[in-house]
Copies of this chain bind each other. A is one copy, B any other.
Amino acid sequence: MIVCRPDSPIGVFDSGIGGLTVARALMRHLPHENILYFGDTARVPYGVKSADTIIQYAIEITDFLLERQVKLLIVACNTMAAVAASAIRARSPVPVLDVIEVGALVAAHRTRNRRVGVIGTLATIGSGAYDAAIHGHDPTIAIHSQSCPLFVPLVEEGWLEHPVTLLTAQEYLAPVLAQTIDTLVLGCTHYPLLRPLLEAVAGSDVCLVDSAQTIAIHTADHLTRLGLLNPGAGPATHQFCVTDVPQRFQTVGERFLGHPLAGVEVVKW
């Protein structure tokens, strides 16, 4: 039996450590919430795996977090959101929010000229999940998508404002910006770290939808409506479960999280 209490943690999960940008936004917007983060670092990347495998992995992580009594699940990984969100919802007795649903909702409401750009990994863009979700809100919106395979390695290298990254962003965004979009969805958990650079390339006429930030705002709203907001008598606890400790885990993780990464537990399956 699942008992949801205000002081139960929010479960955030990702195929790796990119979802730490979501954890970071949650910590900023909801400083009293306890957070349990799960990163499947042993099996990352999910983007190249079959749908059946991704669903199986997502279910395993869902069960793990539910056993730890989370009150809400946040699917921070775009690939999992694209492929496994309905399977996770079918499995979970607690509410589930995912980055694609929230990003699409915000983009559909923000655009004025109904021309939206979406950038993401090959897997996310190839899935068409953002197109479907945005069209679910307004089928007349024109969507211009672009996969940006180099952004994840550039972020992991820490080249957030490097000339190489600027040149790469100019090349990737050129065809999307040529479509006079007014809204650009950052459809990957790594991209919020490139936000200043992407804003400079996209220009002030384009509004960026940062899914980490938007999902944090939606989570606050959701918990308030459910009466599950933690009143915050004591300090919040933040715990991080990973399935392996890959190369540069600490360095890259702290870059994503924006502060020292402590409370890491390695889960061996």
Contact = CB atoms under 8 A, between A and B. Distances in A.
Interface of A: 41-42, 44, 47-50, 122-123, 126, 149-150, 152-154, 156-157, 159, 163-164, 167-168, 171, 244, 246-248
B164 A153 contact: no
Given A49-B244, A150-B150, A244-B50, A167 B163 contact: yes
Contact of A164 (B44, B149, B152, B171): B171
Contacts of A164: 150, 164, 167-168, 171
A48 B244 contact: yes
A50 B244 CA distance: 8
17 contacts: A42-B49, A44-B48, A48-B244, A48-B247, A49-B244, A50-B244, A149-B153, A149-B156, A149-B157, A150-B150, A150-B154, A150-B157, A150-B164, A153-B153, A163-B167, A164-B164, A164-B168
Given A48-B244, A163-B167, 15 more contacts: A41-B48, A47-B247, A49-B244, A50-B244, A123-B247, A126-B247, A149-B156, A150-B150, A150-B154, A150-B159, A150-B164, A152-B153, A153-B153, A164-B168, A164-B171
A123 B244 CA distance: 14
Nearest to A41: B48
Q: Which of A47, A247, A248 has the most CB of B within 10 A?
A: A247
